[in-house]
Each structure stands twice: as structure tokens, then as C-alpha cells.
Amino acid sequence: MEKPRFKVIIIGGSIAGLTLAHCLELANVDFIVLEKHHDLLATIGGSVGLMPNGYRILDQLGIYHQLQGVACPIRLSALGAHSTAIDRNSDGVSVFTDSRTRFNGDLVVGADGVHSVTRSQMWHVANSVDAGLVTEKEMHVLRAEYVCLFGISRPVDGINPGDQIISCYDNKSILVFPSKDASIGWALIKKLDRGYILPDSALLSNAEVQTMGQAAADLTIYRDVRFRDLWIRTPRYSTTLLQEGLLDTWHYGRIVCVGDSVSKMTPNIAQGANTAIEGAAALANIVRKISRMPEISEDHMNNLLQGYAQNQRKRLRVLHAISRSATRTHTRRNWMTKFIGRYVYPYTPNAASRTFGKIIVEAPFLDYVPLQALCRDGWETPSESPGITQITIICVVLIIIVAYAVSFSLRARSSGI
């Protein structure tokens, strides 16, 4: 009898879930996407900037050029399917939705974002088999110290496609990224009075959102352009808490997670969606391999999925550190970040872009689809030769030490020590 085809149940039909669906389609692996919303294209008024690590994979999928607002058809998906429970059985896994529909498959992928149900179910299964495997500490690692008001404004004179602007203020920053059609994606990020640990959350009332927008109205974006100019041209906006955190457990048995469900960053370095895309591609490479094996033991499958989780997690550690530091520098969190933002960043643009470029170049991509023309040139690993980076880093460290020593001695003198 012919072996049944390997089937993946993807929970969540946003960036990570739909990218994985497209990757599996190309790999000829069966899948179903369960999405709780009824409309896959429903917009909440935000925009996402694509970086080379993300668009290289979208280009492999053949959808990069179609992305200007065009929906890409997915073979099989269930909309309005809010997944609530996952059950392991002798043949694989089943996912149940709130309408009590049951979906059977060989592997469940949680692409269901920061409030992931899949992640909670995975923790539950893991701890019921290996008590204490997922610690309380890990379960509370996602923490929000910032809130974000975001939207898309109609074009504003003085801000042009291709600009990318970050305006830094004490405890606030404004990110502005215009699209090709001159509409302008923006995000106003504000430090909260306290940290919120998931599932603890803070919903802003309408009045608070208005106050947040009004309070920023006079802030300068660029030259004569003020935040007010974007705010009054934005028909729809939303708010969200910006949780941050990189989880340790991405996989257990036949449940595996991808995207924001296990790796949540602020938008400051525009890597949440891009790394969700690369994670989906890395996972698709493994799933394709598994699906093509005539037989595979649970141990072998575990090792392969664990390999995906470990490699991707290791890679993202650096990006998380950069993202946290960028968020705090952009919001001038303390004297050190103010100093770095004012005197270090502007004079060391190459150091940052070289470090970032190297991380991007090393991103995974689909190993079963040739790279397209768009992604073949300019992807060399940056050469190590000029040594400017090391010199710059040494100078920066020396400047910080001197500044710290000066500030310490001034404080000591004023407190009479």
C-alpha cells in the first residue's frame, strides 16, 4: 500500500504561516492553514518593510514581484478556524477548533503570533511528558516595555519613497517608512510606565490613543514635517503592546513553532516579519526532507526539527540583542543610549551596516529552489579586510568608558563622596 502523504497543519495565516504554506506548496508537501480570522487580507492599518533576508525567500517563491497588494492564492485553507487544542495520537496529531472541527496531520506548526495557542499547548505536552522541561521563567519571558501606535498616512510633502526616518526623543521614537506609492507607514513608539509580562496586557482606550497621538503632534519627523502631518492624514490606526523575547523551546514532539510565537521583537530594526519568513523557509527545508523519507523514527524526526529550532534560535540571539539596543537607543532611554545615539551612531554608519549585513547574508533560504536573479548579486559575505570595524568598536568602547568615568566622578563630587 502506498504510504500516506505527510501532512502539516499550520495554525495562523499571517506572514510566517502563509510563507510556510507557499514553501510547502513548492516542496509538494500537503498542508492546511487554519486562520481564526474570516478574511486573510483584513488589514489592521500597518505596513511591513521587507529586508533582503525576507525578500530573497519571497523571490524564490516567485511572489516578490507580485507583492504590491496582490493576494497569492493558497491551495487549501480554513478561514474562521480558531484553533483551541492539539492532541497527539498514534497516527500523528489532531488540531481542534472552537467549532469542534478536527483536523488530522503529521506535524503541527504554530505560526499564530505572540499570543500563540500552539506554544501553550506545546508547553503543556512537553511538561506532561518531561516535567519541568519548560520552566516558569521561560513561560514569562515575553515582556512589553513599549507600546506602539501605528498606521498608514496619505502622502506628505517632504517625505519621499526611499526615505527611511527614525526620529528619536526621550522615551519616544517615530519610525517612518514611505512606500513606493508615497503612502507612509509610521509607528510611534512610547515607553510604558511599567513592564507587562504576557499574558498580562494593557489595552489603550480610544481616549488614550488620541492623547498619545496628540501629545506627539509637534514632534519633528524631518525638516518641516511634524508628526501632526502624518496623524491627520491617517484614516485608520491601531495600537499594540510591543512584547520582546526569544523563547528557548521552539519544538516538542510533533509540534513546532515559527515567527512571533517564539521570537518577538519591536519593529525598530524591521526584522520580526523578515525573520519569520526565513524561519518558515528553514522549517520547510526540514519538513521536505522528512516528507521524502520512506520511513522515519520519532527520534530522527525530533532531531531534525530540533536542528531547525537550534540553528534559528542561535542566529536570532544576535538580532534580538541589536533590536533591544536599537529600541532603547531610539527612545533615548538613559544617558548612555542618548550619548550613543547622538555621538556614536551618526559617525559609525559602516560599522552598524557591516554587522547587520553579515547577519543578513547568513540567513537561511530554501535549499530546494534555485536563487533568483534578484538575489544572486551582492550577496557575498562582507570581506574582513579593512579592519575599520574593530578600530571603530575599540574607539566606541573607550569613549563610553571615559564618559562613564566623567559622569561617575561628577556625581560623586556633587554628592560629596
Ligand X SMILES: Cc1cc2nc3c(=O)[nH]c(=O)nc-3n(C[C@H](O)[C@H](O)[C@H](O)COP(=O)(O)OP(=O)(O)OC[C@H]3O[C@@H](n4cnc5c(N)ncnc54)[C@H](O)[C@@H]3O)c2cc1C
Using the contact rule CB under 6 A, the part of the chain among 41-49, 229-237, 350-358, 383-391 near ligand X is: 41-49
Minimum CB–partner distance for residue 112 and ligand X (Å)? 4
Minimum CB–partner distance for residue 300 and ligand X (Å)? 27
60 or 348: CB nearest ligand X: 60
Specify the pairing of strand 172-178 against strand 165-169.
antiparallel
Residue type, 34: L
Cell 520547510 belongs to which residue?
284
Question: Quick check: 113 binds ligand X (CB under 6 A)?
Answer: yes
Minimum CB–partner distance for residue 245 and ligand X (Å)? 12
- Encode burial over 265-285: b for 16+ CB neighbours within 10 A, e otherwise: bbbbbbbbbbbbbbbbbbbbb
Using the contact rule CB under 6 A, the part of the chain among 159-167, 270-278, 282-290, 353-361 near ligand X is: 270-278
270 or 344: CB nearest ligand X: 270
Q: Report the distance separating Cα 176 and Cα 181, nearest Å.
A: 14
Residues in contact with ligand X, counted by CB under 6 A, come to a total of: 33
Question: Quick check: 151 binds ligand X (CB under 6 A)?
Answer: no
Specify the pairing of strand 7-11 against strand 30-35.
parallel
Q: Report the distance separating Cα 306 and Cα 253, nearest Å.
A: 9
Of residues 31, 103, 146, 150, which one binds ligand X by CB under 6 A?
150
Of residues 9, 21, 27, 117, which one binds ligand X by CB under 6 A?
117
Question: Quick check: 149 binds ligand X (CB under 6 A)?
Answer: no
330 or 348: CB nearest ligand X: 330
How many Cα neighbours within 13 Å face the side chain of 176? 29
Binding-site string for ligand X from residue 210 to residue 239, where x marks contact by CB under 6 A and - marks none: ------------------------------
Of residues 26, 30, 46, 96, which one binds ligand X by CB under 6 A?
46
SS (H, E, C) 190-209: EEEEEEEECCCCCCCCHHHH
Q: Report the distance separating Cα 331 and Cα 191, nearest Å.
A: 8
Minimum CB–partner distance for residue 315 and ligand X (Å)? 15
Mapped onto helix, strand or coil, the DSSP state of residue 210 is helix
> Is the preceding omega at residue 199 within 30 degrees of 0, hence cis?
yes
Strand partners, 251: 256
Question: Quick check: 33 binds ligand X (CB under 6 A)?
Answer: no
Question: Quick check: 191 binds ligand X (CB under 6 A)?
Answer: no
Of residues 11, 29, 125, 344, which one binds ligand X by CB under 6 A?
11
Minimum CB–partner distance for residue 403 and ligand X (Å)? 32
Question: Quick check: 253 binds ligand X (CB under 6 A)?
Answer: no
Question: Quick check: 111 binds ligand X (CB under 6 A)?
Answer: yes
Helices (runs of H) and strands (runs of E) counted in the chain: 11, 17
Per-residue cell: 286? 526540514
Q: What distance lies between CA 262 and its chain's CA centroid?
A: 9
DSSP secondary structure, 40-56, as one string? TT---S------HHHHH
130 or 163: CB nearest ligand X: 163
Residues that bind ligand X (CB under 6 A): 11-17, 34-37, 46, 48-49, 82-83, 111-113, 117, 148, 150, 187, 240, 259-260, 267, 270-274, 276
